[in-house]
Amino acid sequence: MPVDQKLDLDAKIPDGSLEDKWDNHRFDMKLVNPNNKRKFDVIVVGTGLAGASAAASLGELGYNVRCFTYHDSPRRAHSIAAQGGINAAKNYQGDGDSIFRLFHDTIKGGDYRSREGNVYRLAQLSVNIIDQAVAQGVPFARDYGGLLDNRSFGGAQVSRTFYAQGQTGQQLLLGAYQALMRQVDRGSVTLHPRTEMLELVVVDGRAHGVVVRDLGTGEISSHSAHAVVLATGGYASAYFLSTMAKNSNATAAWRAHRKGAVYGNPCYTQIHPTCIPQSGDYQSKLTLMSEGLRNDGRIWVPKDPDETRPPEDIPESERDYYLERLYPAFGNLAPRDISSRAAKRMVDAGHGVGPQKNGVYLDFAGAIERMGVDGVEAKYDNLFQMYEKITNENPYRVPMRIYPAPHYAMGGLWVDYNLQTSIPGLFALGESNFSDHGANRLGASALMQGLADGYFVIPYTIGNYLAPMLGESPPPTSHEAFAEAEAEVRDKVFGLLSVNGTRSVDSFHKELGRILWDYCGMSRTAEGLEKARSEIRTLRDEFHKDVRVLGENETINQSLEKAGRVQDFFELAELMTVDAHHREESCGGHFREEHQTEEGEALRDDENYAYVARWRFRGLGEDPELIPEPLEFETVTPSTRSYK
Amino acid sequence: MDLTLKVWRQPGPEAEGRFETYQAKGIDEHASFLEMLDLVNEQLTEEGIEPIAFDSDCREGICGTCGVMVDGEAHGPVENASVCQVHMFNYSDGDTITIEPWRAAGFPIQKDLIVDRTAFDEIIAAGGYITVPTGSAPEANLTPVDKPIADTAFEAAQCIGCGACVAACPNGAAQLFTAAKVSHLNLLPQGQPERYERVVNMVEVMEEYFGSCTNHGECQDACPKDISIDFIAWLNKDYRKASFKQMRAS
């Protein structure tokens, strides 16, 4: 049950001009003397880009860091799968980029549902991230002069994306992981792999620890600290089929929410336009093809819905390059929400391609003609190989087939400018927080936010929180708050094991995912969302009565791990529908059919909805409480997004 | 298609293991190998048999979490692929498939098909990084890197740390993993200051856990990222140089 407390809901955006906010704030924040840093214990949960970079930076500063990950190695966090790249306003290409332009593109791309102050800081820090990564030995693509190369990405008209072939996430994560392991070797960070956080511990209104389960032995233990940092990623796997890793979940953030941390914008999930279409019911996940492919691939569908010829036999005049037609200025690089919905409209109108007519073509024939097979190979070969392994089709000969899929959560734990949640001492970084991307995230910005938060924001802001606590010890794990949290965890774990029903965890998760995708996916209606909410509740009850989790707690038990996660997805899914239902407008990843222009584009309502929807948990089955955070635009004027 | 599976079951690290035979029925040829296992696990759960424990996460061949021996081959029959990237169109109706965990002294079995690969993290902690403080790096383009060098470093850096090289090696050696990590950093200008210290420290930890390399080359064939054993030559060269330097210094 939530702790009854007065929540700190001030966004704490510093005064002053946009350019000076972060600098002024850094000067104003309190410092912890280097010799005193070792007197502070910090818990970091998660080892993706945000978690690993935060743990490494805090360890290096001198704090005592304990870092938890449910992976067998921190290097396996899902940031590793990001293919495309990382944005930075370096303007190395001299094509008109600047910090202000990156800021502006991000605010506009997010459909004016993010904070100016946060986004400007992100654009400023993007420049430092590249320096940091290169110094760590991240092998970014280079031109023949030995300097760094860039490419372009959706939602931008400049080339500001740094990349390492199609494996940028992997290379950046390995950089952060290596920095983390260096601190492990120095003894400043203690690593707890294969350990899952299952409860947050709040003492006197402050976050002071976590309860975790050892995934190998089932041991449930408490850990106390001065502050807790969550960097646990997003929740798109609530949809079951998504581009996320199988173990990605919402548990740590959700259980913090139940303890009082308010949630921001849960209905904003990103549907990424370029995934390989679903091929059957057995499927466990969807695979993304890098958005970078849209630099050279052209997207089209046959004009005739009854077309049966293979793509190469369909003449140019009978193809509809619909993105180039509808959005000539951005064409195939239109932002993700726009491109995704356009693909859905084409498929819904019967123009879909492939055996199930559930995709659109991403065609490289023109690129091969222009750059030669060698040229295309040099840029995209690993992606082409990946596509061929999955589909058994050679994309050098036939166009790829793509369709949108759930990919990234813009919503998450609400945080202030210091990345602190509404619970003092609990911080949330990267995808697990709601900030920076608004209602839609531009390509190559997720890696940027994860690393900015971990390397360059939290090292400052956590000091400001800790400084006044000098001399205070964190509460001992014998404190009753820990005992209560441990008891809650035990109840949940042993409760799931004792249901002994008839249906597997996956069967429930798939059914939940279907409801979310149908009613709270790429387009939503009031009627559909009401239906979804009631179906989710019914299914959740059935889950608690009829789930079958075999085995025991005291060994690796993957069904048990999944069951705990699905339990939380059920609760989060309901909140997603509530949030989507209340927001009577269309913006970014949230498209309400009731609110669209004559041309079928999203129709925003700035007068009534220019706010962050913050939700406070009031108990399961109760309506959550909405506490809006109004968004103020001092520098940019929200306007209709046009990519024409 | 219908398949017969022979799967290694072992309830825990200390328990004895054995092969069990299961039927996988009605598998779609487009399902991935791990999706086929998911389906078998659904069937087992229905029958009240505890599902087969196996590691996987991204299922896109990049996180390195998955990895099993399939009919004696690390990651199964597809070249340059991790087992999550193997699809069932590589098999025929009626096939029998044997699935077991990585077998190597450096990778103790945890349960069924899951092994403990922490030794890899210890090798990295011993020196698989560049000592750069976080938060104050020099401007990135001040250090140009020749494209061929950057490309070669990238080839080595692609290692996903899955452990197939160890599993495939008759000696259970971890040379390819260590070589890939050492070469990535030792090739780049950023990695030069600690180049020789790095290789010595990493090799020392590697030798604590794993067997010796006797140049069988099986690791290269098993590597899902096609990492070349040329990097082992690189490792050995740097290790020899480092040893001379140490001798001279003492």
* Res A621: pLDDT: 86
* Minimal C-alpha gap between A592 and chain B (Å): 31
The Cα A166–Cα A438 span in angstroms is: 26
- Helix (H) / strand (E) element for A212: namely strand A206-214
* Res A280: pLDDT: 87
Q: Any idea which fold A480-605 has?
A: Methane Monooxygenase Hydroxylase; Chain G, domain 1 (1.20.58)
Pairing state between β B3-9 and A298-302 = unpaired
Residues of A designated catalytic: 336
The Cα A367–Cα A73 span in angstroms is: 39
Nearest CA in chain A to B152: A139
Reading the block at residue B163, the tokens are: 């452990």
What average pLDDT values come out for chain A (644 residues) when binned by 10 residues? 69 96 97 97 98 98 98 98 94 96 96 98 98 97 95 87 93 98 98 98 97 98 98 98 97 98 97 92 91 91 95 96 95 92 94 95 96 91 88 94 96 98 98 97 96 98 98 98 98 97 97 97 96 98 98 97 98 98 97 93 96 96 96 94 84
Answer whether B158 sits within 8 Å of A167, measured CB to CB: yes
Nearest CA in chain B to A287: B60
The alpha carbon dihedral of A532, A537, A539, A543 has a sign of positive
The Cα A627–Cα A262 span in angstroms is: 9
Q: Are A232 and A45 in contact (CB under 8 A)?
A: yes
Reading the block at residue A458, the tokens are: 């939290």
Closest partner CB to B157 (pick from A71, A171, A504) = A171
* Minimal C-alpha gap between A302 and chain B (Å): 25
Q: Could you tell me the CATH superfamily of domain B117-249?
A: Alpha-helical ferredoxin (1.10.1060.10)
ipTM over 0.90: yes
The Cα A137–Cα A237 span in angstroms is: 32
The Cα A414–Cα A354 span in angstroms is: 41
**A147 to chain B: which residues are within 8 Å by CB?**
141, 144
Closest partner CB to A558 (pick from B28, B53, B138) = B53
The alpha carbon dihedral of A344, A152, A289, A510 has a sign of negative
Please name the amino acid found at residue A580. A
The Cα A468–Cα A209 span in angstroms is: 18
Nearest CA in chain B to A78: B58
Cα-based angle A143, A146, A147 (whole degrees, multiple of 5):
75
- Collapsing DSSP to helix, strand or coil, A511 comes out as helix
The Cα B126–Cα B206 span in angstroms is: 9
* Minimal C-alpha gap between A608 and chain B (Å): 40
- Helix (H) / strand (E) element for A361: namely strand A360-363
Helices (H) and strands (E) in chain A, counts: 17, 22
* Minimal C-alpha gap between B26 and chain A (Å): 11
Answer whether A389 sits within 8 Å of B87, measured CB to CB: yes
* Minimal C-alpha gap between B60 and chain A (Å): 7
Reading the block at residue A121, the tokens are: 């800081």
Answer whether A247 sits within 8 Å of B11, measured CB to CB: no
Map out the domains of chain A as residue ranges: 272-405, 480-605
Place of tokens 């506490």: A627
With pLDDT > 70 as the criterion, what percentage of chain B qualifies? Answer: 100
Closest partner CB to A136 (pick from B46, B78, B130) = B130
* Minimal C-alpha gap between B29 and chain A (Å): 10
Reading the block at residue A167, the tokens are: 């494996």
C-alpha dist (Å) from residue B91 to A388, B46, B82 = 17, 25, 16
Reading the block at residue A115, the tokens are: 């904070």
Answer whether A284 sits within 8 Å of B117, measured CB to CB: no
The angle that helices A458-466 and A49-61 make with each other, rounded to 10 degrees, is 50
Mutate to test the interface with A, among B9, B10, B46, B63 (most CBs of A within 10 A): B63
- Helix (H) / strand (E) element for A377: namely helix A365-391
The Cα B246–Cα B250 span in angstroms is: 6
Chain-centroid distance of CA A488 in Å reads 28
| Structure letter (DSSP) for residue B32 | B
Reading the block at residue B112, the tokens are: 């069924």
* Res A4: pLDDT: 54
- Collapsing DSSP to helix, strand or coil, A138 comes out as coil
Map out the domains of chain B as residue ranges: 3-110, 117-249
- Helix (H) / strand (E) element for A400: namely strand A400-409
Answer whether A282 sits within 8 Å of B28, measured CB to CB: yes
Pairing state between β A269-275 and A426-428 = unpaired
* Res B248: pLDDT: 82
Angular region, B104: left φ>0, alpha ψ -120 to 50, beta rest: beta
- Helix (H) / strand (E) element for A342: namely helix A336-346
Nearest CA in chain A to B15: A555
**B145 to chain A: which residues are within 8 Å by CB?**
139, 142, 146
Task: Report which of A542, A581, A589 is spatially closest to residue A344, judged by C-alpha positions.
Answer: A589
What pairs with residue A211 in β-bridges?
A199, A222
Q: Are A58 and A463 in contact (CB under 8 A)?
A: no
CB atoms within 10 A of CB A355: 11
**A132 to chain B: which residues are within 8 Å by CB?**
132, 134-135, 137
Q: Are A19 and A120 in contact (CB under 8 A)?
A: yes
Reading the block at residue A206, the tokens are: 């402050």
**B41 to chain A: which residues are within 8 Å by CB?**
504
Nearest CA in chain B to A192: B118
- Helix (H) / strand (E) element for A595: namely none
Give B56-107 pLDDT, tens digit per residue.
999 999 999 999 999 999 999 999 999 999 999 999 999 999 999 999 999 9
Reading the block at residue A361, the tokens are: 């073509």
Answer whether B60 sits within 8 Å of A386, measured CB to CB: yes
Q: Are A491 and A212 in contact (CB under 8 A)?
A: no
**B143 to chain A: which residues are within 8 Å by CB?**
134
- Output the furthest CA–CA distance in chain A (Å, rounded): 76
Torsion of CA A48, A51, A57, A62, to 10 degrees: -140
A to B CB pairs, distance under 8 Å:
216
Reading the block at residue A215, the tokens are: 């995934």
The burial of B73, by beta-carbon neighbours within 10 Å (0-12 exposed, 13-18 middle, 19 or more buried), is given as middle
Closest partner CB to B129 (pick from A141, A182, A507) = A182
Answer whether A559 sits within 8 Å of B42, measured CB to CB: no
- Output the furthest CA–CA distance in chain B (Å, rounded): 67
Given a cut of 70, the residues of chain B with pLDDT beneath it are: none
The Cα A178–Cα A187 span in angstroms is: 14
Answer whether B59 sits within 8 Å of A80, measured CB to CB: no
Torsion of CA B54, B58, B59, B63, to 10 degrees: -80
The Cα A571–Cα A249 span in angstroms is: 12
Answer whether A92 sits within 8 Å of B141, measured CB to CB: yes
The Cα B19–Cα B7 span in angstroms is: 5
The Cα A449–Cα A435 span in angstroms is: 9
Please name the amino acid found at residue A412. G
**A553 to chain B: which residues are within 8 Å by CB?**
none
Q: What is the CATH number of domain A272-405?
A: 3.90.700.10
**B161 to chain A: which residues are within 8 Å by CB?**
73, 75-76
- Collapsing DSSP to helix, strand or coil, B211 comes out as strand
Query: What are the helix (H) ranges across chain B?
Result: 33-47, 118-125, 147-157, 164-168, 175-187, 195-209, 218-222, 230-249
* Minimal C-alpha gap between B75 and chain A (Å): 14
Closest partner CB to B132 (pick from A75, A135, A555) = A135
| SS3 readout for A236-249 | HHHHCCCCCCCCCC
Answer whether B51 sits within 8 Å of A141, measured CB to CB: no
- Collapsing DSSP to helix, strand or coil, A121 comes out as helix
* Res A1: pLDDT: 47
**B102 to chain A: which residues are within 8 Å by CB?**
none
CB atoms within 10 A of CB A372: 11
* Minimal C-alpha gap between A563 and chain B (Å): 13
* Res A641: pLDDT: 85
Place of tokens 């941390």: A261
**A176 to chain B: which residues are within 8 Å by CB?**
none
The highest-level CATH class for domain B3-110 is alpha beta
Answer whether A131 sits within 8 Å of B46, measured CB to CB: no
Please name the amino acid found at residue A380. Y
Answer whether A181 sits within 8 Å of B125, measured CB to CB: yes
